[in-house]
Amino acid sequence: MRLERVLVARGIASVDDIAAALERQRRKGGRLGENLAALGVVSPEAIARLNDETPTLPRSVAETGITRGNLLNLLLKFMRVESCEVLPELSERMKLPHNVIQELIDEAVSQRLLHVLGSTTTGIVKYVRYGLSDHGRADATAALENNQYLGPAPVSLAAYRAQVFRQSIRRESLDIDALNAALSGLVINDRYVRKLLPALNAGQTILLYGPPGNGKTSIGRIVASLFLQPVYIPHALEVDGQIIKVFDERLHWPYIDETADSFVALDALTGTGSLQVEGFDPRWMICKRPVAVAGGELSLDMLELRYDADSKTYDAPLHMKALNGVFLIDDFGRQRLAPADLLNRWIIPLENRIDFLKLKTGKSFSIPFDEMVMFSTNLEPSDLMDPAFLRRIPYKIHMTGPDHQEFRRTFDLAASACGLTFEEDVFDLVVRRLTTSSVHGLAFFQPRFICEQVRQICQCFGLAPEITSELAEEALGNLYVERETEPDEATAP
């Protein structure tokens, strides 16, 4: 992970700016950040802030924050399992700089865990090949029995806590234009936007409640994508000698698109390695702010460390993987656990912004609870939460159904997206059926449902793409399951 890639990804500098700074560096020396500042591309203060919020590349074993013995065990495991023999291979797998790996190799040689096998040439560089001694193989076997983790070197708990604080979601500041742009695909009342923006900028807990089908989940997912600052996620964390895997490719999306033309061009500029380009600790992945969504499948054990008896490692709980991001609890009240159990589990984290986790050894440790929790429910909040917990949710947004004008705009958008036309009397029929012949009333999801149903019918039977009264009635029949009418309740049409 290098400085120029972060600068371009965040829009702070362009590829041309980097090229100019590198050319100046060739002539006058210095580091890339210093040359960018000298050219007026970015201020020295901005470079300093960027360096402060980004994990620093360790220059020695001591600076990794992990004990020499544990790093040495990881190195031996890679040599035993993956037959790594040269420094670059070990550096790539452990995500540690060459000088740190060389320090570990020297230590292993001094302890007679490794011996020199010869040399090999990669490009124009010659590297020493190392192999495990009998003593080294025994130590590697013992390390694998302790745990079978094979991946980037972990980071320390202290470093993890500090990084979570540095990239707090409360450091983001959204404006009304960005929020309106993100919600432009939805028909949403201005009063919701007015309540939503302060809640997002506060980074605190939000409750979205109201009848089903009115955009609670959609809004939750959309606003989560508004946050622009990157976060750094460690591959793994070490606590009391135990390995906790944190990075999850299902939740942690790369902040940098390595295939983009701009980054291919950067590789061409800096690929020789002859210039001083600042680098950051590759044990951390630069990602977009995570968005975790849990629905009816959420259980209490998903909020605790999960121990794998086979690998003897832990997987971080879902809310830990969502740190510095958004955790949307969808359909709250319909989980396998009682609402009170979940709320009691999170009373302290939501109020004190800190959570406690426990290893199977009995060791407990704390992590910052820095994330925006969003509850979405179509049940009555007072049936789910007692007054004490409701007080702990500072932002409550009641999402109601659309009025006639909002429903019309939503219907027009849905019909246009499906390539359908309709006459005014068809729209009136739909509204009449939903408001007078149905107990459900108008909802924001209905126009899309109806239009998609009609589009499918038209495609299947080769009909013109038009919502007729007959097709609207057919789609409405699939919208809800109506209660059977008892004989004595029957009324004449």
**DSSP state, 174?**
-
Residue with tokens 């201020």: 43
Q: Calculate mean pLDDT across residues 231-257.
A: 94
How many Å apart are CA 385 and CA 391, to the nearest integer? 10
Instruction: Please give the pLDDT value at position 345.
Output: 86
DSSP string covering 384-405: HS-HHHHHT--EEEE-PPP-HH
Instruction: Please give the pLDDT value at position 224.
Output: 64
Most confident of 180-189, 294-303, 379-388, 405-414: 405-414
How far is CA 458 from each of CA 412, 418, 452, 479, rounded to the nearest angstrom? Answer: 18, 11, 10, 18
DSSP string covering 461-477: HT--SEE-HHHHHHHHH
Q: Which is nearest to 450 in space by CA: 472, 433, 466, 434?
A: 472
Instruction: Please give the pLDDT value at position 59.
Output: 93
Q: Higher pLDDT residue, 191 or 8?
A: 8
Name the CATH architecture for the domain at 169-253+288-398: 3-Layer(aba) Sandwich (3.40)
**Percent over 90 (pLDDT), the chain:** 51
Residue 343: Cβ within 10 Å count? 20
Q: Residues near 32 by Cβ (< 8 Å), separated by ≥ 6?
A: 3, 4, 18, 21, 22, 25, 275, 276, 277, 278
Q: Higher pLDDT residue, 13 or 276?
A: 13
Q: Which of these ranges, 10-24, 38-52, 211-225, 453-467, has the smallest mean pLDDT? A: 211-225
SS3 54: coil
**Statement: residue 402 has pLDDT above 50:** yes
Q: Calculate mean pLDDT across residues 155-183.
A: 89
Q: Calculate mean pLDDT across residues 488-493.
A: 46
Q: Which of these ranges, 40-44, 128-132, 143-147, 468-472, has the smallest mean pLDDT? A: 40-44
Ramachandran angles phi, psi of 491, nearest 5°: -130, 155
Q: Higher pLDDT residue, 414 or 484?
A: 414
With b for 16 or more beta-carbon neighbours within 10 A and e for fewer, the 195-225 pattern comes to: ebbebbeebbbbbbbbbebbbbbbbbbbbbe
pLDDT band at 83 (very low <50, low <70, confident <90, very high): very high
pLDDT band at 355 (very low <50, low <70, confident <90, very high): very high
**Statement: residue 424 has pLDDT above 80:** yes
SS3 156: strand
pLDDT band at 271 (very low <50, low <70, confident <90, very high): low
pLDDT band at 277 (very low <50, low <70, confident <90, very high): low
Q: Calculate mean pLDDT across residues 104-129.
A: 91
Average pLDDT in the chain = 88
Q: Calculate mean pLDDT across residues 4-26.
A: 87
**Statement: residue 483 has pLDDT above 90:** no
Matching CATH number, 68-153, of 3.30.1360.30, 3.30.1360.230, 3.40.630.10, 1.10.10.10: 1.10.10.10
**DSSP state, 82?**
S
pLDDT band at 3 (very low <50, low <70, confident <90, very high): confident
pLDDT band at 491 (very low <50, low <70, confident <90, very high): very low
Q: Higher pLDDT residue, 480 or 74?
A: 74
**Statement: residue 252 has pLDDT above 90:** yes
**Percent over 70 (pLDDT), the chain:** 94
Q: Which of these ranges, 198-202, 271-275, 468-472, has the smallest mean pLDDT? A: 271-275
Check: CB of residue 203 under 8 Å from CB of residue 109. no
Residue with tokens 């068809």: 426
Give the pairing type, strands 354-358 and 125-132: unpaired
Ramachandran angles phi, psi of 369, nearest 5°: -105, 70
Q: Calculate mean pLDDT across residues 33-52.
A: 88
Instruction: Please give the pLDDT value at position 192.
Output: 77
How many Å apart are CA 245 and CA 464, to the nearest integer? 55
Residue 16: Cβ within 10 Å count? 10
pLDDT band at 1 (very low <50, low <70, confident <90, very high): low
Q: Residues near 469 by Cβ (< 8 Å), separated by ≥ 6?
A: 425, 426, 429
How many Å apart are CA 472 and CA 454, to the nearest integer? 7
With b for 16 or more beta-carbon neighbours within 10 A and e for fewer, the 417-455 pattern comes to: ebebebeeebbebbbeebeeeeebebbbbbbbbbbebbb
Q: Higher pLDDT residue, 359 or 343?
A: 359
For 273-425, strand residue ranges (E) read: 284-287, 291-294, 306-308, 313-315, 326-329, 354-358, 364-368, 372-377, 395-398, 421-422
Instruction: Please give the pLDDT value at position 481.
Output: 67
SS3 115: strand
Cα-based torsion angle of the residue sequence 15, 175, 352, 304 in order, rounded to the nearest 10 degrees: -60
Instruction: Please give the pLDDT value at position 134.
Output: 96
SS3 297: coil
Instruction: Please give the pLDDT value at position 161.
Output: 97
Give the pairing type, strands 242-245 and 313-315: parallel
**Statement: residue 217 has pLDDT above 60:** yes
Instruction: Please give the pLDDT value at position 84.
Output: 94
Q: Calculate mean pLDDT across residues 336-340.
A: 80
Domain ranges of the chain: 68-153, 169-253+288-398, 404-489
Check: CB of residue 4 under 8 Å from CB of residue 268. no
**Statement: residue 274 has pLDDT above 50:** no
Q: What's at 345, amino acid-wise?
A: R
Q: Calculate mean pLDDT across residues 134-159.
A: 97
Q: Higher pLDDT residue, 352 or 226?
A: 352
Q: Residues near 138 by Cβ (< 8 Å), separated by ≥ 6?
A: none
pLDDT band at 340 (very low <50, low <70, confident <90, very high): confident
**DSSP state, 66?**
S
Q: Which of these ranges, 8-12, 229-233, 270-274, has the smallest mean pLDDT? A: 270-274
Name the CATH architecture for the domain at 404-489: Orthogonal Bundle (1.10)
Instruction: Please give the pLDDT value at position 158.
Output: 97
